[in-house]
A = this chain, B = another copy of it.
Amino acid sequence: MNLKQLSELLGLSQTTVSRALNGYPEVNEATRERVLQAVRETGYRPNKAAQRLATGKAGSLGLVMPTAPGHQSDVHFGEFLAGLGEEAVRHDFHFVIMPADPDDEVAALRRLAISGNVDALFVAYMRGHDPRLPMLKSLSTPFVVHGRSHGTEPDYPYLDIDNEAAFYDAAKLMLQLGHKRFALMNGPEHLDFAIRRKQGLESALAERGLHLNEDCISHTLMTDEQGLVAMEQFLQLPDRPTAILCSSTVLALGAIRAVNQAGLKLGEDISLIAHDDVLPLLKPENFSVPLTTTRSSLRAAGARIAQRLIGTVKQTGSFPEQELWKTELIVRGSTGPAPKP
């Protein structure tokens, strides 16, 4: 059943039926009702590809999903997608997800944009000097970045959390508790949030004349295994750190296993603050020792970005181009006074 058949069935032109369906005012209400009735009876649905072709709008957001045979799937991605979805479902938008090898992201994003399949793009996993930004700016597809790109003029639309402040505050708390020896379990070095969190920690330390030793920084994928390995290494250091900042509750999961295996007590021998993306699976309060965290909901960020993107596409309302969300520092049991030497 297509528009032509439907209009023949009704003895109307395609124009009139199309307008009746799309809410145009120049259609007699009685006619519109007849059309709607026929749609209900026949189950007619407009062909999206044709609509897209005719209007240039498709009601869809595009994103690139990094994937590869060996590539670990990322819980953060799923959670973010849930946030996007929550908002998209309200506006009858859908997603076009292009899976791509992480090394091929620029090209994949470009393909997606130019394909004419999406109205707007969402971009994540930002790096320092991210090569996708110049590319995106040269295109006419609207986009919003989750995160920022260190080293690039911040003149693009983004939503980020204040990673630097988050880790600055976390470090401050540790300092107040008397900790002097810090370690940082961070995400991959090239990622923007990792850069900023490190800066946040370092500037808090610098204020007290302290310095972060290279041995006490790990940059790894955000998996619990990597957390375990990194923590094991920290614990073997001659002058082992007592204050750990950790970029994810996922890393913390492994880190805490290492602490337990070493027979140490979290919140006494070792204090730890993790960044909490509010993953449903890893609630900080559910850890055997509840975790002190810097918190910001990934899902809420997803919903907000969807809102901005859809608003832009539909031209309803205007939004700030740049948003920087503060994180909350939530103190629980995993932080305590520095142990006496």
Contacts and interface: CB of A to CB of B under 8 A. Distances in A.
A327 interface: no
Contacts of A73: 78-79, 81-82, 280, 299
A114 B225 CA distance: 44
A286 B288 CA distance: 15
Interface string A69-85: 10111110111011011
B47 A53 contact: yes
Interface string A123-135: 0000000000000
B78 A114 contact: no
A97 B98 CA distance: 11
Contact of A48 (B97, B115, B280): B115
Contacts of A97: 81, 85, 94-97
A116 B47 contact: yes
Contact of A85 (B47, B67, B250): B67
- Among A53, A99, A224, chain B packs the most CB atoms within 10 A around the CB of A99
A97 B99 CA distance: 13
Contact of A75 (B65, B99, B281): B281
A150 interface: no
Interface residues of A, number: 61
Interface string A46-63: 111110110000101000
A76 to B, nearest CB: 9
Nearest to A1: B114
A88 interface: yes
A70 to B, nearest CB: 9
A228 to B, nearest CB: 8
12 contacts: A67-B85, A69-B86, A73-B280, A74-B78, A75-B75, A84-B99, A94-B99, A95-B95, A95-B98, A96-B97, A97-B97, A228-B286
Interface of A: 43, 45-50, 52-53, 58, 60, 65, 67-69, 71-75, 77-79, 81-82, 84-86, 88-89, 94-101, 110-112, 114-117, 223-225, 228, 250, 253-254, 257, 260, 280-283, 286, 288, 299
